[in-house]
Structure 1
Amino acid sequence: MEIYDITLPIHPEMLHWGRKPEVEIVESLANGDASNVTRWRLGAHTGTHVDAPAHFVDGATPVDKLDLHALIGPALVVDATAVTGDISIDDLAAAGVAGHQRVLLKTSNSAGALKLPDRAESWVGLSPEAARWLIGQGVQLIGIDYLTIESHTRTDTWDAHHVLLGAGLIILENADLDAVPPGEYELVALPAKLVDADGSFTRAVLIKRDA
């Protein structure tokens, strides 16, 4: 089988929304300690991460209680690299999203905005109308290749987040799909089990098994 690691590396200079990760050396062999030990200061939404419904809905499902069946299983990587602005219903329908429970949107972000050290001025996101369409199609998890699935024009209202998380969908953000050809895979996306958290950094891989 072939494994695609779609997880962004976590380090102090990485692309991040707000304060970047910080690393403290607690113990080191070089200083005569018995081992190397570091302490990391980072947010739950650092790097490749899962947004749980609790992120935007008080009392909704937190990240440690998400259904693992939604986070592991067949997934479709959609080629949306030609899309500018918002991904629309027509874009999703034309890509054959109907009938798939886990969908990852490969956009121009993967080769562009996602590779920059700081937040871009613009990026490709998901329209609220397309978010509602995904709910009607029975999608359980939707992923995208940037800091947020929200369009850069809606980071004051967060419309797509309210639609998706309000319906109980799981959002996977910052998935690096640059080297992943569009098609069907097996997704394994396991967030850290942070109790009652709104989200968590996640190790995510796509698996293509031999026929």
Structure 2
Amino acid sequence: MTHAEHRPAAWGRWGADDERGALNRLGPQAALRGIATVREGRSIPLAVPLRAGKGPIAGRRQPLQHFMVRDGGDYAAGLTEKGFGFADDCVVLSTHGNTHLDALAHVWQDHRMWNGHSADHVTSHGARRCAIDRVGPIVTRGILVDLAAPGGPSDHDGHAISLAELVAAVGATGCTPAAGDVLLVRTGWLARWRRGEATEALWAGLAPECAEWIDEQGFVLVGADNIAVEQGPSADPADTAPLHVELIRNRGIHLMELVDLEALAATGRAEFLLMIAPLPLVGGVGSPVNPVAVL
């Protein structure tokens, strides 16, 4: 059977016109489950700092540019109002650079993206279907698995985290996944990148075989501290991003990449309240995010 003949079982799960995918599992129960994990009221940001010309970023994407459009020099030169003063700036950045969330319109195969929507809906003017503005705020329970401990499965790059390794790691947290949860995976790539021990050309990540189990647990989103959540580059040169296709296109599960999990992992906490708010970029196929874990 070819890809074109195969209709993923998850298509139509939330209706023929659905554009939110697994986010339909979110609701008051998921938010309250996350709130119930809060013990200290301490917030931990999970985003990589945005610095002009710097930061981890996948190939073919431009680093962030930061411009001042008004600053103190304007006033010193006498070019603006006297007395009152203000500064202003702007940024130009890739929506898939640094810490970001993929929209369901981000990938397709055989000209079909999530739920069977045609790739024709993604034009030079943006995505008319499954865009990032369909996502909205995500408030739920997060579950963190740390696979980067010394001697762990991904304490080096190039490793594909197997289904058995992922299941064992989630089991070791003592958390039972529930519909609406978010899974965060620490591979150690970001820490190694900061130490100059890793590049954007190779990273440990999840193997494609993990996709079905992730869906069965009810996760709405998977995030990781690497370039693409999945192992990269793909073990199959003919299949560029198999986990992206299987989770985003086939199952409607979002991916969040380049998440800074170092401070969170250091707390030893496996579950927490997680809040993610993508920019409501109409027609966007991704968005920078600043996820926050509340312990």
Q: What TM-score do the two structures reach when normalised by structure 1?
A: 0.88
Task: Determine the C-alpha separation between the residues in 2 that align with 1:72 and 1:39.
Answer: 28
Q: What SS does the corresponding residue of 1:135 show, helix, strand or coil? A: helix
Task: Determine the C-alpha separation between the residues in 2 that align with 1:3 and 1:102.
Answer: 17
Contact 1:48–1:203 (Cα < 8 Å) also in 2: yes
In the alignment, which residue of structure 1 is the partner of 2:153? 83
Q: What is the Cα deviation at residue 20 of structure 1?
A: 0.6
Q: What SS does the corresponding residue of 1:180 show, helix, strand or coil? A: helix
Q: What is the Cα deviation at residue 65 of structure 1?
A: 0.6
- Which residue type is aligned with residue 61 of structure 1? C
Task: Determine the C-alpha separation between the residues in 2 that align with 1:195 and 1:15.
Answer: 25
Task: Determine the C-alpha separation between the residues in 2 that align with 1:147 and 1:114.
Answer: 13
* Alignment gaps of 5+ in structure 1: none
In the alignment, which residue of structure 2 is the partner of 1:16? 57
Task: Determine the C-alpha separation between the residues in 2 that align with 1:31 and 1:117.
Answer: 42
Pick from 255, 273, 285: which aligns with 1:171?
255
2:177 is the counterpart of 1:103: no
2:100 is the counterpart of 1:49: yes
Contact 1:15–1:118 (Cα < 8 Å) also in 2: no
Q: What SS does the corresponding residue of 2:291 show, helix, strand or coil? A: strand
- Which residue type is aligned with residue 168 of structure 1? G
2:152 is the counterpart of 1:74: no
Q: Which moved more, 1:193-202 or 1:111-120?
A: 111-120
Moved over 6 A (4+): none
Q: What is the Cα deviation at residue 92 of structure 1?
A: 1.8
Task: Determine the C-alpha separation between the residues in 2 that align with 1:42 and 1:116.
Answer: 23
Q: What SS does the corresponding residue of 2:262 show, helix, strand or coil? A: coil
Q: What is the Cα deviation at residue 150 of structure 1?
A: 2.8
CA deviations on 1:144-183 (whole Å, 9 max, x unpaired) are 0012213222286111111111111111111101121350
CA deviations on 1:188-211 (whole Å, 9 max, x unpaired) are 111111111111000111111xxx
- Which residue type is aligned with residue 66 of structure 1? V
Q: What SS does the corresponding residue of 2:50 show, helix, strand or coil? A: coil
Q: What SS does the corresponding residue of 2:105 show, helix, strand or coil? A: helix
In the alignment, which residue of structure 1 is the partner of 2:242? 159
Task: Determine the C-alpha separation between the residues in 2 that align with 1:185 and 1:49.
Answer: 20
- Which residue type is aligned with residue 49 of structure 2? P
CA deviations on 1:82-128 (whole Å, 9 max, x unpaired) are 12311211112112365242110012224213565984442111111
Q: 1:201 to 1:116 in 2, by over 3 A?
A: farther
Higher share in strand? 1
Task: Determine the C-alpha separation between the residues in 2 that align with 1:114 and 1:198.
Answer: 27
CA deviations on 1:15-46 (whole Å, 9 max, x unpaired) are 22231111222111222144211121111112
Aligned residues: 206
Task: Determine the C-alpha separation between the residues in 1 that align with 2:252 and 2:74.
Answer: 49
- Which residue type is aligned with residue 171 of structure 1? L
2:225 is the counterpart of 1:145: yes
- Which residue type is aligned with residue 160 of structure 2? D
Contact 2:57–2:200 (Cα < 8 Å) also in 1: no
- Which residue type is aligned with residue 196 of structure 1? G
Q: 1:23 to 1:148 in 2, by over 3 A?
A: same
Matched-pair identity in % = 25
Q: CA RMSD in A?
A: 2.1
* Alignment gaps of 5+ in structure 2: 1-40, 108-112, 114-118, 122-128
Q: What TM-score do the two structures reach when normalised by structure 2?
A: 0.65
Contact 1:110–1:176 (Cα < 8 Å) also in 2: yes
Higher share in helix? 2
Contact 2:136–2:280 (Cα < 8 Å) also in 1: no
Task: Determine the C-alpha separation between the residues in 1 that align with 2:206 and 2:229.
Answer: 6
Q: What SS does the corresponding residue of 2:223 show, helix, strand or coil? A: strand
In the alignment, which residue of structure 2 is the partner of 1:207? 294
